[in-house]
Chain A
Amino acid sequence: MAETIDQIFVLAKDRFLDLLGIVLPDWIILLVRILISIAVLLAVAPVVMMYMTWLERKVLGRIQNRYGPNRVGIFGLLQPIADGIKMLTKEDIVPKNADQVIHFLAPVVIVIAPLLVLAVLPFGRNMIAADLNVGLLFFLGVSTFGVIALFMGSWASRNKYSLLGGMRAFAQMISYEIPMVLSVVPVILVTSSLSTAAIVEAQLGWKWFIFTPWGGFAALVFFLCGVAEVNRTPFDLPEAESEIVAGFHTEYSGMKFALFYMAEFISTFAISGLAVTLFLGGWDGPAFLPSWFWFGLKTFILILIMIWFRGTLPRFRVDQLMGFAWKVFLPFTLANIFIAALWALLPYPKNFIADTIGITVILTLLQIFNRKETPKKRKYLYAN
């Protein structure tokens, strides 16, 4: 029974294809198989995005001692639909001096990347749209080209705030891409595979990489870089609303604006999903609940943490942001590769000690070299 529920989506798809197979030739079945996966992803992603906006507003509201949306439908569950209608009916304004074609293309292009990367995420046992043997590389490569769309939008708007936002986005994404990839390298090193499905397989049975010394820190770095990749607080400089109004999407309104948001939320989901896949054991979990549930739950928790960040933390400044990537994350992830290699090389108790020593050394070194930038505690005087 549990097995059926676990595989319910896969079975449903197979049953459907079997039915079609009675009348249709094989090559059409293959095509339909691909199309079904695409259709499901395309249908699910916007719904996920809509309810992520709802969740974000609800959680932020609760953090700020308010209710959050609660007027449209029960618990405000229809709020995203109302928002969608509002976005669709809004006037679409294009600035007079904007580069019309690119201005139109940018929101279209930006949603492609986050939708594409969903293909290599294993949502459950056997539930992966395309089990590429370079899945991880595909994810990291494709998710990056969203920045091109950001820059297209910012450049085509002919707005100085947009331009500043676009420049920031470019600098930030390129800088954070490096520690992000480097933090993934230990995982590849240990599993010796780039396929996301294989990475999850390697972690089955509570051997999640987050429980290893190198994996815990790599997960942290990966998650923080992921937050920076999707431009969320505290790394939301490209759209810092208190500084540059809305950054790259200042000049977008209506549905185009909604597409930017959709891209942001779907990539948030994708990055959380990838973090789960790489470090939190993917769909692995106690068997009494289906595998896709565990994947969803873990992703949900990571998304909640991102929302929690947004509700608490102020934003970095641009130079501090860069400093963080180049002076803290990059050296740490580089060292982390060696630490992970030690883990793979040595037998159990020895590798644990070696890793602990290695991480302590690198953290101490980072603290020493960065002490100029670390803020100090201050004393205040009183006059009578």
Chain B
Amino acid sequence: MFGWGVLKGMLVTLWNFLLTYLWPKKGIFTVQYPEKKLPLAQRYRNFPFLVYDGTPHMIRCVACKICESECPPKCIYIIPEKDAEGRVQKKPAVFDIDYAICMNCGLCEEVCPFDSIFMDHEYEISKYNRAEDLMVRKEALLKPWEYFAKIRPHDFERIEAKRAAKSAKAKPVAPAEKPSQKPDAGPTSPQQGSVPKNG
């Protein structure tokens, strides 16, 4: 009989309609956003931020520029700090991320050997001005290591363990923190090479 399938479909929608009143928890799947927020997965990634230990002066980033060069859309811009004699310090003077370009891929976090850049959980970042407000400077990017522990406890433990193991291994060789990975040598060597020229 023509019309039977239509009726069956209408019963489905009727059932869904009634379900929203009888059992709203199961029936309605929208979230009333500003009042209610869904918990984010720990691995949720949005835009990157920089980590410091203790005070904002203790930036973990050493301005090695690996993330800058690995970034697929090239949204990171780094200038290392120089001291009075013009020697390059292991610290960024400028660290800008253009949020308008960043595509949240998380590769910077993956390639960083110093565990200093991570993907944030902050997603309410609407701004009025594309050119200025979305170009985020170093100061705005800095967040304490404890913040990371809060948003991603699972990864925090893993990285802490890794860092502890690394510092235990590194100590007998040299007092300074020296990463032993090969790729780090690439971007850092030209800077070191340029030191005598400037000095």
Chain A residues packing against B (C-beta within 8 Å): 59, 62-67, 308-309, 311-313, 367, 370, 374
The reply to whether B20 and A65 form a contact with Cβ atoms under 8 Å apart is yes
Instruction: Indicate if B9 sits at the interface (CB-CB under 8 A).
Output: yes
The reply to whether A313 and B9 form a contact with Cβ atoms under 8 Å apart is yes
The reply to whether B9 and A66 form a contact with Cβ atoms under 8 Å apart is no
Instruction: Indicate if B164 sits at the interface (CB-CB under 8 A).
Output: no
Per-residue interface assignment for chain B, residues 122 to 140, with 1 indicating a CB less than 8 Å from any chain A CB and 0 otherwise: 0000000000000000000
**Closest residue of chain B to A367, judged by CB?**
B2
Instruction: Indicate if B6 sits at the interface (CB-CB under 8 A).
Output: yes
The reply to whether A65 and B10 form a contact with Cβ atoms under 8 Å apart is no
Instruction: Indicate if B16 sits at the interface (CB-CB under 8 A).
Output: yes
Q: Least Cβ distance of B2 to chain A in Å? A: 6
Binds A, one of B21-29, B39-47, B60-68, B91-99: B21-29
With A66-B28, A66-B30, A67-B30 given, is the CB distance from A312 to B9 under 8 Å?
Answer: yes
The listed residue (B1, B6, B13) touching A63 by CB distance below 8 A is B13
The reply to whether B10 and A62 form a contact with Cβ atoms under 8 Å apart is no
Per-residue interface assignment for chain B, residues 10 to 38, with 1 indicating a CB less than 8 Å from any chain A CB and 0 otherwise: 10111011011100000111101000000
Looking at chain B's contact residues, the main secondary structure is: helix
The reply to whether A63 and B2 form a contact with Cβ atoms under 8 Å apart is no
The reply to whether A65 and B16 form a contact with Cβ atoms under 8 Å apart is yes
The reply to whether B30 and A311 form a contact with Cβ atoms under 8 Å apart is no
Residues in chain B near residue A311, CB distance under 8 A? 13, 17
Q: Least Cβ distance of B17 to chain A in Å? A: 5
The reply to whether B2 and A308 form a contact with Cβ atoms under 8 Å apart is no
Number of B positions contacting A (CB below 8 A): 18
Chain B residues packing against A (C-beta within 8 Å): 1-2, 6, 9-10, 12-14, 16-17, 19-21, 27-30, 32
Residues in chain B near residue A65, CB distance under 8 A? 16, 19-20, 27-30
Bound together, the chains give a CA A233 to CA B18 distance in angstroms of 21
The reply to whether B20 and A62 form a contact with Cβ atoms under 8 Å apart is yes
Residues in chain A near residue B28, CB distance under 8 A? 65-67
Q: Least Cβ distance of B49 to chain A in Å? A: 33
Bound together, the chains give a CA A311 to CA B11 distance in angstroms of 11
Bound together, the chains give a CA A313 to CA B16 distance in angstroms of 15
**Closest residue of chain A to B27, judged by CB?**
A65
**Closest residue of chain A to B5, judged by CB?**
A375
The reply to whether A312 and B13 form a contact with Cβ atoms under 8 Å apart is yes
Q: Least Cβ distance of A135 to chain B in Å? A: 32
Residues in chain A near residue B20, CB distance under 8 A? 62, 65
Q: Least Cβ distance of B179 to chain A in Å? A: 51
Bound together, the chains give a CA A308 to CA B6 distance in angstroms of 12
Known: A65-B20, A312-B13, A367-B1. 8 other contacts (CB 8 A): A62-B20, A63-B17, A65-B19, A65-B27, A67-B28, A308-B13, A308-B17, A312-B6
The reply to whether B17 and A59 form a contact with Cβ atoms under 8 Å apart is yes
Bound together, the chains give a CA A67 to CA B14 distance in angstroms of 15
**Closest residue of chain A to B6, judged by CB?**
A313
Bound together, the chains give a CA A370 to CA B29 distance in angstroms of 42
Sample 30 A-B pairs with CB under 8 A, ordered by A number: A59-B17, A62-B16, A62-B20, A62-B21, A63-B13, A63-B16, A63-B17, A65-B19, A65-B27, A65-B28, A65-B29, A65-B30, A66-B28, A66-B29, A67-B28, A67-B30, A67-B32, A308-B10, A308-B13, A308-B17, A309-B10, A311-B13, A311-B17, A312-B6, A312-B9, A312-B12, A313-B6, A313-B10, A370-B2, A374-B2
Bound together, the chains give a CA A309 to CA B10 distance in angstroms of 8
Name which of A62, A309, A313 has the most chain B CB atoms within 10 A of its CB. A62
